[in-house]
């Protein structure tokens, strides 16, 4: 089995509440994360406003908490069957939890700190992001390079989500120009994203040192199985590589297409599971690896079906 873990944007009010009410393992995991943080995260997840939950430093640990709660419920059934994992952006931290390199509480503290650092970087140098649909990544990258010429700001391809879906990130004016360039090149749509900063772009550089310090101060073990690193798509087998690449991930593109293809090539017969809120990654997988099927495990109904199978 190959495990996938969602990233920011998958948050939803009420997330994981049904899991806590149905499964003691999920409730215990969420309680441990609450105790580890400076805020009762489950209150934000279950009772907070959409605006509060969407704040980067809340959304990131909330999504990880949901994934960790699912993992706690299915861990026994998965024992000995998982060959690798991957997570989209903050989801990479959930993948390291699955691999046994991080505890859920330690990972939640890390991603809350990560979210705060990213928010601060976004406040210091406001940026923008936009999703480009229906245009090959190479054409998006050309539009970004043209929009970044001279001293007019920077735009980069930040999330390489599918062969025809790329998110661009950078200074707002450059992202707007890159988006126009993408439309001129034939993009079906360019959709501005509601974010608090230009994630996975050079604008996040001020956050790297603080995250590197937080990673170094966190107990981190070697994984039971490899995790695909967003920054390079390589399969990482050791904690040193994990910590280095998680810090680099802030300013590097999420190489999701390369990661999925690498995993599929190495384990062509593996079953794919998406653990956490939503099923976005399973949808992307079908577009990247034709014929691949991914089972979403995020709700009580999902889990009861999986556990009973």
- Rounded distance, CA 134 to CA 217, Å? 42
Residue 234 DSSP symbol: P
| The two three-digit tokens of residue 214, written as one number | 């937080």
CA 258 to chain centre: 15
Phi and psi of 134, rounded to 5°?
80, 25
- Rounded distance, CA 28 to CA 227, Å? 25
The single residue of 200, 233, 259, 279 carrying the catalytic annotation is: 200
- Rounded distance, CA 22 to CA 7, Å? 24
Check the CA dihedral 169-170-171-173 and report its sign.
Answer: negative
Q: Which residues pair with 85 in a beta bridge?
A: 3, 227
Task: Give yes or no: 279 in active site.
Answer: no
- Rounded distance, CA 98 to CA 89, Å? 15
Largest distance between two CA atoms of the chain: 59
Task: Give yes or no: 200 in active site.
Answer: yes
Phi and psi of 227, rounded to 5°?
-120, 135
The single residue of 57, 67, 88, 89 carrying the catalytic annotation is: 89
Active site residues: 89, 200
């Amino acid at each position: 089995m190959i495990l996938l873990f969602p990233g920011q944007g998958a948050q939803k009010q009420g997330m994981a509440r049904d899991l806590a009410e149905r499964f003691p393992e999920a409730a215990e995991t969420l309680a441990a994360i609450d105790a580890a943080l400076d805020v009762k995260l489950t209150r934000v997840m279950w009772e907070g406003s959409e605006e509060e939950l969407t704040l980067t430093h809340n959304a990131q640990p909330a999504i990880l908490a949901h994934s960790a709660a699912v993992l706690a419920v299915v861990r026994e059934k998965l024992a000995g069957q998982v060959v690798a994992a991957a997570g989209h952006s903050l989801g990479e931290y959930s993948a390291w939890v699955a691999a046994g390199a991080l505890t859920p509480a330690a990972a939640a503290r890390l991603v809350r700190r990560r979210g705060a650092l990213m928010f601060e970087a976004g406040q210091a140098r406001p940026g923008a992001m936009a999703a480009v649909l229906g245009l090959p990544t190479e054409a998006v990258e050309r539009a970004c390079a043209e929009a970044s010429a001279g001293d007019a700001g920077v735009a980069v391809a930040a999330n390489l989500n599918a062969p025809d879906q790329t998110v661009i990130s950078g200074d707002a004016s450059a992202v707007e120009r890159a988006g126009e360039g993408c439309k001129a090149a034939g993009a079906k749509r360019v959709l501005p994203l509601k974010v608090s900063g230009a994630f996975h772009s050079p604008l996040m550089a001020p956050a790297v040192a603080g995250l590197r310090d937080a990673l170094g101060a966190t107990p981190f073990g070697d994984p039971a199985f490899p995790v695909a690193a967003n920054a390079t798509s390589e399969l990482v087998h050791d904690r040193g590589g994990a910590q280095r690449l998680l810090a680099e991930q802030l300013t590097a593109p999420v190489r999701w297409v390369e990661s999925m293809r690498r995993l599929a090539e190495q384990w062509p017969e593996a079953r794919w599971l998406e653990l956490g809120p939503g099923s976005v990654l399973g949808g992307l997988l079908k577009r990247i690896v034709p014929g691949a099927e991914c089972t979403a495990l995020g709700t009580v109904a999902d889990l009861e079906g999986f556990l009973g199978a």
